[in-house]
Structure 1
Amino acid sequence: MNDQQEQWTEMMEQMNDAVAESIEQNMAAQADFVESWAEAVEGSVPDEDVVADGIEGYNRAYEVWMDAAERMADRSAAIAEGEDVAPEEFRDIWLQSANEAFKEVLSTEAFAAANGQLVESMMEMRGDVDEATQDALAQAGLATRDDVEEVGERLVELERRQHAVEKKLDRILEEL
């Protein structure tokens, strides 16, 4: 009986550690998400409705996490009562909850607005990087994208002119 108690205690400690680690990881992921979201909207004043929608989405996500914690506690109590509970059930509860919680946040207008601002900022940054790259290539004496595009346009124009000359030659040859 002593071995069973030790095994039970060890199993419960492992499960508690796993649950605690899972909660920490999920909360860290949420914190990272909120931080990146805040950085994306920094400097802009979002619409009051958008902010309210974002808060509601975050609250719904919080409720999902709390429901998951309650289900975890129920499953742990079932184990304590002698029920055979597979460890995968705990993993599945957290995975399902993570998906639901992120869906609640990601489906808000606030997230869409923040994501739009982030994409816009990234496109501006890409434009700046492209411009700096073009300048560096030009200073190094290498062909830039603009140079290659210009050569391509000239080739197309030459082909158009050549085709026109060939047509004229064909007409002249037909007349002779």
Structure 2
Amino acid sequence: MSDKNTDVQEEWSGMVEQMNDAVAESMEQNMQAQAAFVESWTEALSDSVPEDENLAEGVEGYNQAYEVWMDAAERMFERSGDAAQGEDVDPTEFRDIWLQSANEAFKEIMGTSAFAAANGQLIESMMEMREQADEVSQETIAEMGFPTRGDVEEVGERLLELERRQQDVEEKLDRVLEAIEE
């Protein structure tokens, strides 16, 4: 009988240890995600100084996101306590708490005009980089002796003009032929 009790205690201890490890790992991942989020948000805002109104709204959005994270941490702590007291807690519930919180937190941030301004600047920078890369590639193609996009467009325009002129000549020729036949 004592072997059964020992087995149950070992099984229970193993399960509690696994849950503790999962909670600790989950909290560590959460802290890393928060740190990465704050770092990327800070970088986005530090590239330019947003207007006071945008900055205030951005800070408010970040504060709301922080509250969401803290609520999630509190729920995790409560559910861990429930599990430690013997309540049957599904480990996926912990994952769901963090995923839902991440979605809510990012929604709080992404809904701000500061985030929109930062994204607008990012897109503008990307478009400028694309234009520069396109110019470099066209220059490189020209230096290699190949026709550039501009060259091909010019040839296309000339072909269209030639077709238009040819059509005009054909119409005049048809009128001349009709006049001769009459």
What's the TM-score bracket when you normalise by the shorter of the two chains? Answer: 0.7 to 0.9
Aligned to 1:11: 15
Q: Decide which of 112, 115, 118 is 2:116's aligned counterpart.
A: 112
Residues 1:4 and 1:161: Cα distance change in structure 2 (over 3 Å): farther
User: Structure 1 residues 134 and 105, CA, compared in 2 at 3 Å: closer, same or farther?
Assistant: same
Partner of 2:152: 148
User: Given the alignment, which residue of 88, 91, 94 partners 2:95?
Assistant: 91
**Offset at residue 2 of structure 1 (A):** 3.0
Q: Quick one: structure 1 residues 169 and 85, their matched pair in 2 at CA, closer, same or farther if it must change by over 3 Å?
A: same
**CA shift for structure 1 position 92:** 1.0
Unaligned runs of 5+ in 2: none
Pick the aligned partner of 1:60 from 52, 57, 64: 64
Contact persistence 2:23–2:80 (CA under 8 A): no
CA contact (8 A) 2:57 2:113 kept: yes
Residue in 2 aligned with 1:101?
A: 105
SS at match of 2:114: helix
Whole-angstrom CA distance in 2 between matches of 1:145 and 1:28: 47
Q: CA deviation at 1:86?
A: 1.4
Higher Rg? 2
- Do the aligned residues in 2 keep the contact of 1:57 with 1:105 (CA within 8 Å)? yes
Q: Which residue of 2 aligns with 1:135?
A: 139
1:43 Cα shift?
A: 4.6
Q: Distance in 1 between matches of 2:38 and 2:169?
A: 65
1:31 equivalenced with 2:35 (yes/no): yes
Shift of 1:13: 2.9
Bigger drift between 77-86 and 32-41 goes to 32-41
User: Equivalent residue of 2:89, what SS?
Assistant: coil
| TM-score normalised according to structure 1 size | 0.88
- Residue of structure 1 aligned with 2:6, choices 2, 10, 13: 2
Structure 1 residues 154 and 22, CA, compared in 2 at 3 Å: closer, same or farther?
farther
Percent of pairs identical after alignment? Answer: 69
Of the three residues 51, 61, 81, the one matched with 2:85 is 81
Q: 1:175 maps to what in 2? A: 179
In the superposition, the TM-score normalised over structure 2's length comes to: 0.85
Cα deviation digits, residues 118-157 of structure 1 (max 9, x gap): 1111111111111111111111111111111111211222
Distance 1:159 1:12, change over 3 A: farther
Aligned pair partner of 2:130 in 123, 126, 133:
126
How many residue pairs align between the two structures? 176
RMSD over equivalenced CA pairs, Å: 1.9
